[in-house]
Structure 1
Amino acid sequence: MEKKIPKLTVQLLAAIAMTLALVMIVENYFSIRISDTLQVQFTFIPNTILGAIAGPVWAAVFAAISDPVFVLFSGQTVLFTWILIEAVSAFIYGWFFYRKPLDTKNKADWLYVAGIVVLIQVVISFIMTPIALHFHFGTPWIALYSSRFIKAIFEIPLRIVVTMLVLPSLQKIPELARLMGIK
């Protein structure tokens, strides 16, 4: 596990802060609300970067700390379950993408990313989020899952392609590669 916890340096803290700022911008300005219980968010991009540079533990810690701050800026109410969901998501991204070099030409890397995207969809979109929505708002299970299955058909391939375009490109930048534990 120690290989998965990078030392907190000033450079790493600055990169984490920039990534969290990007999460806030993407969440507030690039989210598409389909219904009260379903929205399409592109926060997976900065969350993936956060996990890749901070590792699972720090990504989860900073996601858990930042989520209430973001919610307060948006004027919504803070719910512990959303903090937990963000932390678990960041942990998964960090566990699988920290110290993991990716190459767009390598089919095994595409399968690796596909597996992680499916894992995150199952854990976050099909287990944790519906449970939270059902118990907090009383939303019927059928309404939660029927829309999520349709959304997943489009979202999974999009997340795979975007992740494989973004992470390998960022890994070519020497400073970011060092932060990601690759060089």
Structure 2
Amino acid sequence: MNKKINAHMITMLGLLIALTVVLSRIFGFETQFIKISFDFVPKIIMGALFGPVWTGVGAVAADAIGMMLFARSAFFPGFTLNAFIGGLIYGYFFYKKEVSWKNAILCSLSLTIIISLILTPIWLAIMYNQPLTSVVIWGPRLIKALIMFPIQSILNYVVGRALPLKRLKNYLATVR
């Protein structure tokens, strides 16, 4: 967080937060126990441009704004914690690092294990007063993990490689 923030960086972060909200809340699919969206695409860009902490802050802002504007269920702070941790993970794997298959897959694997298969089931069990071993919690989670892990890994790599992230980083660093 010792990095100086300028107006261009704030603007870029704001646009990425807005894109995250749109992809998550408007174009995402959500039921009581499962959520599928492509909101991770702007988080890849945030992670590459701003690092772990700012990506975590941006993910929390997107979660809060999305919840205020397009609430689909009750607010639960555990999901906001998930957003921050997810942002940290994206920043860890993509900030100041070459986007490689290894980083793309390890990022997806970390998110799947930590967020989808550890934290979210705990939050759902607490929210809906279900036993942590309930098939209602685990059935959709495992199916989602099996489907989304390869899709997210491929998109992590493709988006990370396709975007001119080096030029954007250089531009944001030189603009005062």
Cα-to-partner distance string for 1:11-43 (whole Å, 9 max, x where unaligned) = 21111001001001111222123x410121111
Secondary structure of the residue that 1:100 maps to in structure 2? coil
Q: Which residue of 2 aligns with 1:117?
A: 108
Instruction: Map 1:9-88 onto structure 2 (within 5 A).
Output: 9-33=6-30, 35-75=31-71, 76-88=73-85
Do 1:110 and 1:164's aligned partners in 2 also have CA atoms closer than 8 Å? yes
Q: Distance in 2 between matches of 1:58 and 1:172?
A: 16
Secondary structure of the residue that 1:139 maps to in structure 2? coil
Secondary structure of the residue that 1:8 maps to in structure 2? coil
Consecutive unaligned residues in structure 1, runs of 5 or more: 103-108
> Shift in Å at residue 152 of structure 1?
1.3
Give TM-score, length-normalised by structure 1: 0.83
Cα-to-partner distance string for 1:31-90 (whole Å, 9 max, x where unaligned) = 123x41012111111122222211111111232234222201114543211111101100
> Shift in Å at residue 6 of structure 1?
3.4
Give TM-score, length-normalised by structure 2: 0.86
Q: Which residue of 2 aligns with 1:171?
A: 164
Say what the alpha-carbon RMSD is for the aligned residues. 2.0
Do 1:171 and 1:177's aligned partners in 2 also have CA atoms closer than 8 Å? no
Secondary structure of the residue that 2:17 maps to in structure 1? helix
Secondary structure of the residue that 1:60 maps to in structure 2? helix
Q: Distance in 2 between matches of 1:179 and 1:120?
A: 27
Q: Percent of aligned pairs with the same residue?
A: 25
Q: 1:160 and 2:156 equivalent?
A: no
Do 1:56 and 1:91's aligned partners in 2 also have CA atoms closer than 8 Å? yes
User: Quick one: which amino acid aligns to residue 157 of structure 1?
Assistant: P
Q: 1:147 and 2:140 equivalent?
A: yes
